[in-house]
Amino acid sequence: MTPLARILRLSAAYLGSNLARAAIAFGLSLVIGRALGAERFGRWILCTTWASTLTVVADLGFGVLLTRDGARPGAPAGRLLLHALLMRLAVVVPLGAMLLLAAPRLIADPEAIAGVRLGALLGICGAAYGCFGALFRAQPRWLPTVLAAETACLAAQLGGSWWLVREGHGVVPLVALATLLQAVQIVVSVAVWRTVFGDRAAVARPSLDDLRALLRRAIPFAASSIVANLQTRVAPLMLGYWSTEIDLGWFGAASRFGRAARLAPQALFAGALPVLSQEHGRRDADVRSTFRTFDRALVAFSLAMAAPCILLAVPLLRLVYGPSFMKAAPALVWVGLGLAPALVNSGRKVALLAAGGEAVVLRWSAIALTAQIVAGVVLIPALGAVGAAVSLAAAEAAIVLPLWRNGASIARPGKCPVDFFEARSGPVGAVLERPGTRG
């Protein structure tokens, strides 16, 4: 299969998995909410939110880094797994212990206290499995199987939760079920590890130099994740401070169409990362052609996603939210106008990450965030929701050309990825380097 065909195949797997998980998650909330009532459903939400927060805090950038590094030909998957696990556990276990001890001071209800304490274990298990999952997703051959197994696990949680609430059980058994299923995923991952990775599955004795080298490479990924989260939250926060609640509601309605339009492109990006990383690792003459084809296809795809938001703003708002939201149409038009450069930029960031350009991605993401804040300070007090949407669009448009230039440069065949094969990366980098591949 050609690289583009592999990207489309993996993207289809991600899209199908995402849609199935969204449906299962909705069913899970429906089953628990109807059985437990609003108050106890809120307790379950609280417990799972604390667990997911622990997992997110302990990510440390490895969610993307392991997928990128693990896709490279000859990458030492066993060493990457061990070092990432050690660093994640060094962060999440103390945090989980602190949450376990602090639960009675955070919550008064006994059931919620017990659920949050068990949620600490769920968060630890989630952080541990994330290392396995990221490396499995780096293997295009195994990706559909991995996604299917993860979706099946979520379906098992839905079925088990239905049985528990039917038998009269409450929040704590529901959290215990989620923790048990997460632990089962870890056990299965260990069982199939050598089958998936073969000779690369060997786990060597950890060294301090290896840990430092991997942590250095993970820092830009972790920082990029923080910047990306700020980009999605800055506009609503600024609207809440400088504008009115109705403007915040209009912007929220408009931005939800943008999120829906990103669903398929996000699946494309997830499918593209391991394929582009693998292609760049081979360093043959087709690398530049692969990157160019991906970029051109992405531009056309982004325009197709943005067009409905621009051309059908009024009927979409009237159909989904009702006549009272029709005044949000100008904001939705600007959300659509910003969607095209945002998706193009996201695709180019994926290509840069695949080629080792995470420092470039972090730099221009931070510049876009700064531009968004400056534009928001100027526009939001006068234009409200429209000003927030314009600030987002302007920030993404400002970095289109720089990202394109950096992407065109770093994707050249034979060019060494940033900080990937350098000697200063330590023993991990030395293992990854193959004779004759240095640019």
- 94 pLDDT above the threshold of 60: yes
- State residue 205 phi and psi, 5-degree precision: -65, 130
- Is residue 422 over pLDDT 80? no
Domain positions in the chain = 3-206, 215-432
Longest Cα pair distance anywhere in the chain, in angstroms?
65
Q: What is the pLDDT of residues 99-121, one digit of tens each?
A: 889 888 888 888 888 988 999 99
pLDDT tens-digit readout, 260-316: 777 777 777 777 777 777 776 665 555 666 667 777 777 777 788 778 878 888 888
Average pLDDT value over all residues in the chain: 80
Count each helix (H run) and each strand (E run) in the chain, helices first: 16, 0
Using one digit for the tens of pLDDT, what is the confidence trace for 130-149?
999 989 988 888 888 888 99
pLDDT tens for each residue of 319-367: 777 777 778 888 888 888 888 888 888 888 888 887 777 888 888 889 9
* Kind and range of the H or E run holding 58: none
What angle, 0 to 180 degrees and rounded to 10, lies between the N-to-C axes of helices 400-410 and 287-311? 160
Nearest to residue 338, comparing CAs of 404, 384, 392, 385? Answer: 392
Integer Rg of the chain from CA? 23
Q: Find the mean pLDDT for residues 183-201.
A: 89
With a CB cutoff of 8 Å and minimum separation 6, the contacts of 317 are 253, 254, 325, 326, 328, 329, 332
Angle between the N-to-C axes of helices 245-261 and 263-282, in degrees from 0 to 180, rounded to the nearest 10: 50
